[in-house]
């Protein structure tokens, strides 16, 4: 079920930062209480191959997100202790040392279950133990959520495990949404900050089309 246009789940999750601090993060409250947009991205596992490339890419773009009044938060179902170990492992050894945004540790899978992003399906019934065996790894897909200052989701996307994200596209989407908020105009295909947008009225659309 699509979550765009809905409020982000009001659930607190354990988190870890590069200093080794453990704390709770409620993404909905981060947005509403701080009056900021939030980019929340989920990845399957710590100490893997594609995941550190994405996390470092988000870290490199962090000043761009911050200039857009946007908080960046990473998340997986790994424990806070594993996050801390990864945060203190150098890039040459497959780590993410130098990353400064928090990582959620959704070990009980409460939030990822509500979002419906876990790679988990029911398998065959085990008669001997009277249980339904699970299939899948029970980790998250590469899901991404953009949340506005009211806690409303204005973008969601889910990639399969092998497919890394384009960080620049999220900056573009934030720019577009901010333009809609500020100008009341709509943004056409491939719109980028600084380009003309469109008036949502019929005359505005006709004017835009005739000039392009």
Q: Buried (b) or exposed (e) across 100-124, using 16+ Cβ within 10 A?
A: ebbbbbbeebebbeebebbebeeee
Let me know whether 160 and 189 are in one domain.
Answer: no
Listed residues 133, 149, 165: the one ending a domain? 165
Let me know whether 152 and 194 are in one domain.
Answer: no
Residue 184: exposed, middle, or buried by beta-carbon count in 10 A (0-12, 13-18, 19+)?
exposed
The predicted structure's pLDDT at residue 131: 72
Q: How many CB atoms lie within 10 A of CB 137?
A: 13
Let me know whether 122 and 151 are in one domain.
Answer: yes
The span from the CA of 171 to the CA of 150, in Å, is 19
Let me know whether 194 and 142 are in one domain.
Answer: no
Catalytic residues: 51
Let me know whether 157 and 170 are in one domain.
Answer: no
Let me know whether 118 and 141 are in one domain.
Answer: yes
Are 188 and 198 in contact by the 8 Å Cβ rule? The answer is yes
Let me know whether 115 and 196 are in one domain.
Answer: no
Let me know whether 27 and 86 are in one domain.
Answer: yes
Let me know whether 143 and 98 are in one domain.
Answer: yes
Q: Walk along the chain (212 residues) and give the pLDDT tens digit of each residue.
A: 789 999 999 999 999 999 999 999 999 999 999 999 999 999 999 999 999 999 999 999 999 999 999 999 999 999 999 999 999 999 999 999 999 999 999 999 999 999 999 998 666 766 777 776 657 789 999 999 999 999 999 999 999 999 999 999 999 999 999 999 998 899 899 999 888 898 876 445 445 444 55
Which of 125, 122, 119, 123 has its CA nearest to residue 142? 119
Its pTM surpasses 0.85: yes
Domain membership of residue 5 (yes or no) is no
Let me know whether 47 and 89 are in one domain.
Answer: yes
Domain membership of residue 2 (yes or no) is no
Beta bridge partners of 146: 39, 155
Any idea what the CATH number is for the domain that residue 110 is in? 3.40.30.10
Let me know whether 16 and 114 are in one domain.
Answer: yes
What is the extent of the structural domain holding 106?
12-165
Domain membership of residue 138 (yes or no) is yes
The predicted structure's pLDDT at residue 132: 64
The span from the CA of 139 to the CA of 52, in Å, is 16
Domain membership of residue 30 (yes or no) is yes
Let me know whether 131 and 175 are in one domain.
Answer: no
Which of 5, 29, 4 has its CA nearest to residue 15? 29
């Amino acid at each position: 079920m699509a979550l765009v246009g809905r409020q982000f789940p009001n659930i607190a999750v354990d988190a870890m930062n590069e200093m080794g601090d453990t704390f709770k993060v409620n993404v909905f409250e981060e947005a509403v209480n701080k009056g900021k947009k939030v980019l929340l991205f989920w990845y399957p596992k710590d100490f893997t191959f594609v995941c550190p490339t994405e996390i470092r890419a988000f870290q490199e773009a962090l000043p761009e997100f911050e200039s857009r009044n946007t908080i960046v938060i990473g998340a997986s179902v790994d424990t806070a202790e594993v996050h801390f170990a990864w945060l203190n492992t150098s890039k040459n050894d497959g780590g993410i040392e130098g990353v400064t945004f928090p990582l959620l540790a959704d070990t009980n899978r409460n939030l990822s279950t509500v979002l419906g992003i876990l790679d988990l399906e029911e398998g065959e019934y085990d008669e001997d133990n009277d249980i339904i065996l699970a299939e899948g790894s029970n980790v998250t897909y590469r899901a991404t959520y953009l949340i506005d200052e009211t806690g409303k989701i204005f973008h969601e996307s889910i990639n399969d495990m092998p497919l890394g994200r384009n960080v620049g596209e999220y900056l573009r989407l934030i720019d577009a949404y901010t333009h809609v908020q500020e100008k009341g105009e709509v943004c056409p295909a491939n719109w980028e900050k600084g380009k003309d947008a469109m008036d949502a009225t019929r005359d505005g659309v006709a004017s835009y089309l005739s000039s392009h």
